[in-house]
C-alpha cells in the first residue's frame, strides 16, 4: 500500500515537469521569434534611413584652348630732328693800310746789340784719389856692433875630434831693450851638440832692437851660426 502513493507522486512530478517544459518552450519560442523579428526589422529600417542612392558625377567642362598671343613687331625708331647749326658770328678782319694813322707815333728805331756769347762749360776733372801711404820702414835687429861685445860661440871639443861641422839658424825674439827673450832652432846643423851651443850663445848676446819708421819695436830675428873646422 505504501508503493502506490509513491508512484502517484512520481507521476505527478513528471507531469508537472512536462507541463513546465512545454510552457517554457512555448515562452522561449515566442520570445525568440520576437527578438529575431526585431533584429531583422530594425536594421533594415535604420539602413533605409542612412543609405541614399548615389548621385551621378558631373565632370566640369574642359577649359577653352588658349589662343597664342600675337608677337609685337618692333616699332621703328624715329630719328630725332637735329637742330640747325647757327652760322658763326662774323669777326672783324684787320686790313693793313700803307698810310699811317693820324695819331701814330713816328721815330727812328735803333738796333739792339747782339747778346754776349755763351761761354762753353768747363769740364772739371774729378779730384785724384789720395796717394796710398808709404810702406813702413823696417829695420831688423843687429848683433854685429862692436860695442855689444858679442863673442863667437866656442867650438865643442868633441865635435872637433869627431869632425862635426855645419850651419845652425836660431830664431830669436828681440824686445825693445835689445834682449833675447825667446829662442828656438829654425834650421839644424844635423848635430845636437852644435845646435845647443848655438842656441845658448844667441840667447846670451845683446842686440840693437828692431825699428819701424824709426821707433823701436819688438820682433823676431833669425841669427845664423856657422861651425867650420879649419
pLDDT at 130: 86
pLDDT at 49: 46
pLDDT at 218: 95
CA distance 225 to 196: 11
Q: Is 156 exposed, middle or buried (CB count within 10 Å of its CB: 0-12, 13-18, 19+)?
A: middle
List of the chain residues with pLDDT < 50: 1-2, 33-51, 92-96, 98, 104
pTM > 0.85: no
Q: What is the per-residue pLDDT across 102-129, written as a single tens digit (0 to 9) for each? A: 554 555 556 667 777 776 666 677 787 8
SS3 94: coil
Amino acid at each position: 500500500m505504501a508503493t502506490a502513493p509513491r508512484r502517484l507522486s512520481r507521476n505527478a512530478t513528471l507531469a508537472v515537469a512536462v507541463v513546465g517544459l512545454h510552457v517554457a518552450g512555448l515562452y522561449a519560442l515566442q520570445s525568440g521569434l520576437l527578438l529575431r523579428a526585431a533584429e531583422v526589422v530594425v536594421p533594415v529600417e535604420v539602413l533605409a534611413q542612412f543609405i541614399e542612392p548615389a548621385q551621378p558625377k558631373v565632370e566640369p567642362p574642359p577649359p577653352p584652348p588658349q589662343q597664342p598671343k600675337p608677337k609685337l613687331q618692333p616699332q621703328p625708331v624715329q630719328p630725332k630732328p637735329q637742330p640747325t647749326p647757327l652760322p658763326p658770328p662774323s669777326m672783324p678782319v684787320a686790313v693793313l693800310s700803307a698810310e699811317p694813322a693820324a695819331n701814330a707815333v713816328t721815330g727812328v728805331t735803333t738796333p739792339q746789340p747782339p747778346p754776349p756769347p755763351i761761354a762753353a762749360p768747363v769740364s772739371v776733372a774729378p779730384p785724384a784719389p789720395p796717394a796710398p801711404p808709404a810702406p813702413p820702414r823696417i829695420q831688423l835687429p843687429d848683433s854685429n856692433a862692436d860695442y855689444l861685445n858679442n863673442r863667437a860661440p866656442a867650438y865643442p871639443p868633441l865635435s872637433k875630434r869627431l869632425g862635426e861641422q855645419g850651419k845652425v839658424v836660431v830664431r830669436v825674439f828681440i824686445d825693445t831693450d835689445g834682449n833675447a827673450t825667446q829662442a828656438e832652432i829654425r834650421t839644424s846643423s844635423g848635430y845636437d851638440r852644435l845646435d845647443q851651443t848655438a842656441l845658448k850663445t844667441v840667447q846670451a848676446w845683446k842686440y840693437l832692437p828692431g825699428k819701424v819708421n824709426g821707433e823701436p819695436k819688438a820682433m823676431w830675428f833669425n841669427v845664423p851660426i856657422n861651425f867650420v873646422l879649419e
